Amino acid sequence: MDQVLKELEDMDIGKIERNASLDKYTTYRVGGIADALIYPKDVLSLRKLLQVLKDAHIRFKVVGYGSNLLFSSKRFSGVIIRLDEFDDLEFLTPYKLRVGAGYSLVKLSMQVAKRGLAGLEFASGIPGTVGGAIFMNAGAYKSDMGYVVQDVTVLTPDLRIIKLENKEMDFHYRSSFLQSHPGYICLEAVLRLDKGDKAAIEEVIRDRRKRRMDSQPLNYPSAGSVFRNPEGKFAGQMIEELGLKGYSIGGAKVSEKHANFIINYDHATSEDIKNLIEYVKDKVRDKYQVELKVEQEFVNWE
């Protein structure tokens, strides 16, 4: 690994952090040490990086802000790639824009609101990147990325750059083509929005921010909603009816404010959080015969 990292440093592909502590790069604030964290500075650098890693048979994972990931406490033997430098924003027409995968989703929602563009109000409280949001088809308030994405430029497993139209992205509730084809990497996307009233849009964003602050445990590290809502039901309501609000394992706790949030309230380990997720899943299955689906991705648990 040291020899490969030296080669990459000589290639000047971007910032390289060795022995990166992943608790700094996930919203749960947990995780082990990765051999390296690399920020490629552009698409050419990313392709060079991936070619080197593939040739050397080194494991890698592309992440955004880590707002939907749960890394184990084990060492990640490989490279974590962040696309923070992929943060260009260009308005192609008054209602259409091109945005890089590393751009902040919250920042983007505020930028378009200032222009009186409607369609991204739902995203104003989602603490991820555009690329991560497209991967997860992030959403809220009965909307999601699938409603606003026109097309996505991706890097394929064989390092070709292609464009996928909205229909090809196969957006469904909290899922997309990218989840079922993990070798593809989102580079940028074109979003199409609608003309709206700036004051009305900003009022919606303010109202939803207040609702989040009132109903969600934003003062503790978490990864947002843990479970997807089953059809016709609310995961949080089922968990609350089971009396699990406040239930804890180690330093991880089911939020007393919102039962579908698990918080790192007292130096939780990754294992504390995962064990609590599994415990809640088991209790819901036993009571309701419902198999809850976890929104978060478990990484490095093999």
Q: Would you name the residues annotated as active-site residues?
A: 174, 225, 295
Residues 6+ apart with CB under 8 A from 152: 134, 163, 164, 169, 186, 188, 189, 190
For residues 248 and 244, what is the distance between their CA atoms, to the nearest angstrom?
Answer: 9
Cβ proximity of 89 and 71 under 8 Å: no
SS3 for 258-280 is: CCCEEEECCCCCHHHHHHHHHHH
DSSP E strands: which ranges in the chain? 14-21, 33-40, 60-63, 69-71, 76-82, 89-93, 96-100, 117-118, 139-140, 143-144, 149-155, 161-165, 185-192, 194-195, 248-249, 252-254, 262-264, 297-299
Residues 6+ apart with CB under 8 A from 115: 91, 198
For residues 147 and 56, what is the distance between their CA atoms, to the nearest angstrom?
Answer: 40
